[in-house]
Amino acid sequence: MVVIPTKMGLINKQTLIYRLQRMGMASRAEIAKELGLSQPTVGKIANQLLKQGVIEVVRTKKSKDKGDDEEDAIKIGRPGISLRLNRKDPRFLCIQLGVDKTCFTASPVGVDAVDHWQVKVPTTDSAEGWLKQLQIAAEQIPHKDFWGVLISVPGIVEEESREVIFSPNLHWTEKVDLAELVKKVWNAPVELVQENRALALGHQTFELEHEDFTLIEFCEGVGSAAIVKGKLYRNSLPISGEIGHAPIYGNTRKCGCGAIGCLETLVSNKALLLSFSEVTGKANPCWEELVNHINENGIEPWFDSILNHTADVIATAMNVLGIRKVVVVGSLVELGEFVIKTLERKITHGAMWARFGTVECVSAPRRRIAGLVYAGIERLIAPVPVAKSDNTDLM
Ligand SMILES: [Zn+2]
């Protein structure tokens, strides 16, 4: 007889995986206490997950000395036997489709706190070109069988139908079925995750105190995603967090989205280099030159003005979303912590919460791989069916 897990069973399974990720390592009793579940319930789920290879056993010396029968001891969960997410076996192929580069890494479910990409190839500007790059990358990745391929994708992405609706900096992806392209190289289910959502989920995985925040990435573009009450902010339209396309009055630069004067035409990597070149007269400066210049000269008027516009847009987003914490990742972080602190001061001027409370702007590393794996757990390892009448997202 096939036993179909109940919805509650699936929710418990998913919750246990996420909680164990946060706890690092824990015994069955500790997990049961943390989740408010009975030990037999946790034991049953843990044994299923062990069998699947989602979690693994960590034996302390104490339990080894006892001379327990190995299999029994693991099954029952004797003292000294802890569990953690499997850190040995690559289960997911994580791909970051970036504007210039595409990065790959084979990741276990027990993911590292900091991104480490194994293979990097140029992105190219067509589906055919990208497929060739995928084949080149596949040769360099020794592991071949995956539970799923998880792709971080820029632009406006309908994750459920795996469609890129609009991509200001990578227009060719709008006409292509990325999942089908990837399936030509790897025989596994493919899931798309909007790139900023992946970063926000990855940040939340490792920063326990950050239950409510908006994460903003500055790189080839500028985008954000918010975590509200511990859950990814989603709405009916597949668009949110597009602060890079807020119009800045007086800015005449043309944006990849088709509009004139978007914020990201001032504060993306390319835009900052353009302004730096205009101000200093240097032809084609590189990123390191800009970093050194800002570190030597501080925040000059041209850069101060860009930070003012950036802070205004962020503060507006905070006022609308009702969020007091901003997490910055990417190129502005590379420019130095004093830039983030300056941005925080400027945000404080515009954020209404600052009139009577405190607002925070902190820098963080990118944890895109962790975010992709989070989505892999949610969609492929322990998917919870969502009833049509459900308005809320399940963890
Ligand atoms: Zn734009």
Average the pLDDT over each of 12-26, 60-74, 207-221, 260-274 and give the range with the smallest value.
Answer: 60-74
Terminal Cα distance for the chain, rounded: 29
Query: In angstroms, what is the span from residue 169 Cα to ligand 1's centroid?
Result: 9
pLDDT digit string, tens, across residues 36-75 = 999 999 999 999 999 999 999 998 655 555 555 656 655 5
Which of helix, strand or coil describes residue 194?
strand
Query: In angstroms, what is the span from residue 269 Cα to ligand 1's centroid?
Result: 15
Query: In angstroms, what is the span from residue 244 Cα to ligand 1's centroid?
Result: 7
Average pLDDT over residues 122-138: 96
Alpha carbons 232 and 197: distance in angstroms, whole number: 7
Report the b/e string of 274-313 with b at 16+ CB within 10 A.
Answer: ebbeeeeeeeebeeeebeebbeeeebeeebeebbbbbbbb
Q: What is the band of 10 on the pLDDT scale with cuts at 50, 70, 90? A: confident
Query: In angstroms, what is the span from residue 263 Cα to ligand 1's centroid?
Result: 7
Average pLDDT over residues 180-185: 97
- The reply to whether domains 92-199+369-381 and 208-363 share a CATH topology is yes
Alpha carbons 163 and 121: distance in angstroms, whole number: 23
Structural domain boundaries in the chain: 7-85, 92-199+369-381, 208-363
Alpha carbons 69 and 276: distance in angstroms, whole number: 67
pLDDT of residue 327: 97
Report the b/e string of 150-176 with b at 16+ CB within 10 A.
Answer: bbbbbbbbebeebbbeebbbbebbeeb
pLDDT of residue 298: 96
- Pair of tokens at residue 219: 């790189």
Q: Which residues contact 282 (CB under 8 A, 6 or more apart)?
A: 276, 289
- Pair of tokens at residue 138: 């596949």
Query: In angstroms, what is the span from residue 319 Cα to ligand 1's centroid?
Result: 21
CATH architecture of 7-85: Orthogonal Bundle (1.10)
pLDDT of residue 74: 59
* CATH code, residues 92-199+369-381: 3.30.420.40
Percent of the chain topping pLDDT 90: 83
For 244, which DSSP code?
G
Return the CATH fold of 208-363: Nucleotidyltransferase; domain 5 (3.30.420)
pLDDT digit string, tens, across residues 321-373 = 999 999 999 999 999 999 999 999 999 999 999 999 999 999 999 999 999 99
Task: For residue 54, give Cα distances in angstroms to 57, 168, 242, 377.
Answer: 11, 37, 35, 9
Tell me: pLDDT of 241 over 60: yes
pLDDT of residue 22: 87
Query: In angstroms, what is the span from residue 109 Cα to ligand 1's centroid?
Result: 36
